[in-house]
Amino acid sequence: MKPILIIKTGSTLKTVPPERGDFEHWIMAAMRLPEAQFVICDVMAGEQLPTPRQISAVVITGSAAMVTDKLDWSEYTGAFLRQMVDSELPVLGICYGHQLLAHSLGGVVDYHPHGREIGTTEVRLTAAVKNDPLFADFPAEFPVNVSHRQTITLLPEGAEVLAANDFESHHAVRFSKNMWGVQFHPEFAADIMQIYLAEREEILLAEGLNVAELQAKVTLTPVAESLLLRFAQLASQAS
């Protein structure tokens, strides 16, 4: 099997204990494959992406950067993602990666009109998941961990919404046959979510959010995490 490419577009908070690893480690753990089955490309550090022929699938991580800044490494990654459409290999964007897919494929990304969404929340599946190989058979509603200020404000042509909630209309999107994005973080464990809330407590309070209430609502998100395992299975079938 060719390796799964993880495009590293950012790193977690410095307050996360080093032994807990970073985005790519959480993604690999949830996919339950040995690290030798992955190749990590840190585009922020200027590393060059492989060709689609060299890989079996792609996962794009989250980031503290903003898609609307159109940074050089981000636009470079976006051009690569446009190539991936024709390859028909499985692609999954997470948070920033989700928004970058939309931006790269002709959609629009901007700051969410209602501000930040952070903590554990529920998402609801839409009727479009019925025949979707990644989301089919998931429960109609399930908890997810979120941390974002930007959002997709206009979907690319042909994209389908697979999951949403009252705050975020595009929590999961299928952009093309084998290309998905999720605004939530399937790789975030409950303790990681708590660290994010604690790290940003002052900012959240200044924004009028009830931090204690957000902390109390943090819970396990096994369905969301299983999305990465299912994606790994799709990658193995595609290779």
Distance in Å from the first CA to the final CA of the chain: 6
Tens of pLDDT, residue by residue over 203-230, are 999 999 999 999 999 999 999 999 999 9
> In this structure, is the dihedral angle defined by the CA atoms of residues 184, 11, 21 and 217, taken in order, positive or negative?
negative
What does pLDDT average to over the chain?
96
pLDDT of residue 27: 98
Tens of pLDDT, residue by residue over 59-100, are 999 999 999 999 999 999 999 999 999 999 999 999 999 999
pLDDT surpasses 90 at 1: no
Tens of pLDDT, residue by residue over 8-48, are 999 999 999 999 999 999 999 999 999 999 999 999 999 99
Domain span at 169? 4-238
- Percent of the chain, pLDDT > 70? 100
- Report the CATH number that the domain containing residue 202 is assigned in CATH: 3.40.50.880
Does the pTM of the predicted model rise above 0.95? yes
pLDDT surpasses 90 at 131: no
Q: HEC string of the chain? A: CCCEEEEECCCCCCCCCHHHCCHHHHHHHHHCCCHHHEEEEEHHHCCCCCCHHHCCEEEECCCCCCHHHCCHHHHHHHHHHHHHHHHCCCEEEECHHHHHHHHHCCCEEEECCCCCEEEEEEEEECHHHHHCCCCCCCCCEEEEEEEECEEEEECCCCCEEEEECCCCCCCEEEEECCEEEECCCCCCCHHHHHHHHHHCHHHHHHCCCCHHHHHHHCCCCHHHHHHHHHHHHHHHHHC
Record the tokens describing residue 168, joined without a space.
Answer: 């975020």
Q: State the pLDDT confidence band at 153, using cuts at 50, 70 and 90.
A: very high
Catalytic residues: 95, 185, 187
Structural domains of the chain, count: 1
pLDDT surpasses 90 at 237: no
The CA distance from 220 to 66, in Å, is: 27
pLDDT surpasses 70 at 239: no
Tell me which of 237 and 44 has the higher pLDDT. Answer: 44
How far is C-alpha 140 from the geometric centre of its chain's CA atoms? 20
Residue with tokens 């204690």, as numbered in its chain: 212
Q: Are 39 and 71 in contact (CB under 8 A)?
A: no
